[in-house]
Structure 1
Amino acid sequence: MRHVIGVALLFGLALPATAQEPRAQLNAVGLKSAYDDWLVAQSTTGTLGMGTRLDDGRWVALRESESDAVQMGELASVSKSVTAACALQLVDAGQLEWSTRLPALLGTAPDVTIGELITHTSGLGPDSTQATMPNWLGRTTDSTTHFSDHVLNAVNARETQQGTRGAYLYNNENYALLGLAIEATSASPYWETCKAELDLSDGISPSPRAGAFQPWGGLQAHPDAYVSFLETHFGPHSIIGADPFALPHVEIAEGVYYGLGIVFRRFGDSYNFWHFGALCFPGQMNAGSYAVLWEGEVGALALYDACVDWPAMGALDGALTRAVYP
């Protein structure tokens, strides 16, 4: 039985279905309509956040209804983009390096680097969180509580790792350990550090239900707040968005890369960034998310109350992309 979907990358996503290279442009009505149709097809409900860059360069968030303003949703694996952006802040401030080895921060720990954790190239595996996450639902009591230390114990207890160091193998353990590295570097809890470093609003916060997974999949967000975060830290004026190839990254398919907690590919003279997430616990919790930033010009976060299959994820991306690249 499927308990947890850690991530769905769908390597061909975030591209318009045309040989030409049109510029991304917001079609708010088209985006919302496409999302509503997809929700109906999946027999579920959800919320869509949208943002765009105006002609004067300002970024604005848009929504169809003011009622959306009070809705928060599970980011699931999209949370990794927040953790990675937080680590970048510490690196940029000279407090951490991509080459820093984990034992230097945590003592007894795998001898892997921060950059390898960021890109899932540490060789750690199998993913112990897939079996334990259902038992951790709802067990956090405040914003400082997460279960990354349990993950470290599980990794340390493993006699051999099943991954190959230097090769991409998606594993939630990488970001659990990254969360501990952030704490060791800042001498403060993961969330306190990242909220301050990224100047996050209350629109992004640890989830009451999934908060045990904070660094790798336990954050919640209001769509407007996350889309604004996405533009700020992955848009063209950010360190990541200016040149993601200058930061840790690994090619996972032809022309498709996993970088700082998000997937990206070059498009025209810019980049498209995207990531799916899902928390699938039969009988307990079903939630999905899809974040995308097209060329730093249009962004969206789709939050939905279901676990869907790969074809449905591809259909969601295709529907939204066609609205942005008409």
Structure 2
Amino acid sequence: MTFLSRGIVALIAAVFIFLVANLYVSGVPETEMNGFELAAIAPETAPAPETLTDFPSAPAPSEDAPGIGMVLSQLFFAVMGPENGAAPTQVAIAPGQVQSQPLGQVAGIGTPPTIAPPSAGGPRGEVARAVAASADYDAMAEAWRGWMQANEIETGAMAVILPDGTEYGTGMGRTADDVRPVMSMSKTITGLCVDQLLIETGLGWDTTLGDIASQMSAAGLTPRPWNEHITLLSLATHTSGLAPDLTQSNMARDTHGALGLHRRWAAAALQEDAITGTPGTYFYNNTNYAVLGVVVEALSGQSYAQACMDRIVTPVGITDAVIQGRFGSLSSYAGWEISAMDYARLARHWFAPDQPHMVNPRMDADGYSIGYYDNGESIRHTGRFCRSSHPTGGVSSLFIHDLNGTTISINWDACTQPAVRRVLIDQLLELL
């Protein structure tokens, strides 16, 4: 057969195959095509760069119906093939098998998938809260560093735990794993500790000092007629009427050098002539938590430090926390020293949604509950120690646990005024 004749035959065959192919394609059910289109834009996680095997693929061609390309190829070689009739070499791919391709060769890969909005009134599945881990953390760390620099604070550390449990730590002059005083954030530990003891003993927060008079006496503090009506909840929420705060003027002198001095402050605060506040009115006072330190010892039969270490700190897996030395003297109201990372872990653990005090929130006064502020969206506390003789003028700390699951813990070496500290808290809250 001459070359011209073979060309004419090939042209006629191509026209015939085109018509057959058109019928073949138009015969694919519309539902299958739509199904493929939806699968292709489904919000799947992008695969590793090496392959695309995790991506949805088109339905595999049937073994009984070869693909159009294969039909054309076979016909072309049948008509235009070599004179000796030898078939070309082909690579067989099993039905349904997807051949991997380099990521860069596929159009659109790397672009976030988009999903058409559902029609009005159509079913809507719940959408999980997206967490861009690095973006969330970077924004918080940048806000903290900017605030530190703006206030000329050189040393501090920050820990962030995201809702998925990813932990991040950073520092200026130290790391997030360095143990530091947390000051009044110790009240959170004390409040949680009392709550656990009340669960153990079957008592409630409405228990009065008079109700546990015998245990209090065994712990070294006997309730009197003028104070036996004070409830544990009023102590925790700073509404007991104890005022003034006797610890403030002698924070670094009379309380320095020994543990257990919370008993001294508790005894002094509960003297009849020392109770000058108004019961039921919120007045933040360290001595409320000095008394709760004695309550811990009364209900547990242990020292305050050991009782709360066993119930609150150790269950989280924290091994480096201490309550000793200069700051340990402040015990139940300001004595704990914990790293930023460990405090974040502690807060994340104890403010998990299934904890008893989260399932049934404890009462509060002006948002202050059992050792922490709770505004319904986040839980937090701060700490501060100011002393001119301190190398940096003092130390400060704060933690925030957002009820969506992010936890932040920060410490720094400076005595920071509440208004200045509030700027940082507001910046962080905007990022949660």
TM-score range, shorter chain: 0.7 to 0.9
Cα distance in 2 for partners of 1:137, 1:154 equals 13
2:192 maps to what in 1?
Answer: 85
Cα distance in 2 for partners of 1:24, 1:242 equals 25
Amino acid at match of 1:263: Y
Unaligned runs of 5+ in 2: 1-128
Amino acid at match of 1:218: G
Amino acid at match of 1:248: M
Q: Report the alpha carbon displacement of residue 158 of structure 1 after superposing the two structures with TM.
A: 4.7
Alpha carbons 1:204, 1:222 under 8 Å: kept: yes
SS at match of 2:322: strand
2:161 maps to what in 1?
Answer: 51
Q: Report the alpha carbon displacement of residue 159 of structure 1 after superposing the two structures with TM.
A: 1.0
| Aligned counterpart in structure 1 of residue 143 of structure 2, from 8, 31, 34 | 34
Alpha carbons 1:80, 1:261 under 8 Å: kept: yes
SS at match of 1:297: coil
| Aligned counterpart in structure 1 of residue 169 of structure 2, from 63, 67, 72 | 63
In structure 2, relative to structure 1, the CA distance for the partners of 1:165 and 1:232 (3 Å cut) is: same
Alpha carbons 2:190, 2:293 under 8 Å: kept: yes
Q: Report the alpha carbon displacement of residue 150 of structure 1 after superposing the two structures with TM.
A: 1.1
1:171 maps to what in 2?
Answer: 285
Cα distance in 2 for partners of 1:86, 1:32 equals 31
Could you give the per-residue CA deviations for residues 258-303 of structure 1, whole angstroms, max 9, x where no partner exists? 111000112xxxx311111101122135011111011141011110
Cα distance in 1 for partners of 2:144, 2:178 equals 16
| Aligned counterpart in structure 1 of residue 410 of structure 2, from 295, 298, 302 | 302
**TM-score of the aligned structures, taking structure 1 as reference length:** 0.80
Could you give the per-residue CA deviations for residues 49-80 of structure 1, whole angstroms, max 9, x where no partner exists? 111121xxxx3422247x62541121111110
Work out which structure has the larger RCO, using CA pairs closer than 8 Å and 6 or more positions apart in sequence: 1
SS at match of 2:158: strand
| Aligned counterpart in structure 1 of residue 335 of structure 2, from 213, 218, 222 | 218
Alpha carbons 2:244, 2:274 under 8 Å: kept: no
* Percent identity of paired positions between Structure 1 and Structure 2: 25
Q: Report the alpha carbon displacement of residue 238 of structure 1 after superposing the two structures with TM.
A: 1.5
Backbone CA RMSD of aligned residues: 2.2
Structure 1's consecutive aligned runs of 4 or more residues displaced over 6 angstroms after TM superposition are: none
Amino acid at match of 2:216: L
Cα distance in 2 for partners of 1:38, 1:156 equals 41
In the comparison of the two structures, how many residue pairs are matched? 283
Q: Aligned pair 1:283/2:283, yes or no?
A: no
**TM-score of the aligned structures, taking structure 2 as reference length:** 0.62
1:13 maps to what in 2?
Answer: none
Q: Aligned pair 1:264/2:370, yes or no?
A: no
Q: Report the alpha carbon displacement of residue 240 of structure 1 after superposing the two structures with TM.
A: 2.3
Report 1:302-321 matches (<5 A): 302-321=410-429
Could you give the per-residue CA deviations for residues 95-144 of structure 1, whole angstroms, max 9, x where no partner exists? 5431222241324332211111111111111110112212046513xxxx
SS at match of 1:68: coil
Unaligned runs of 5+ in 1: 1-22
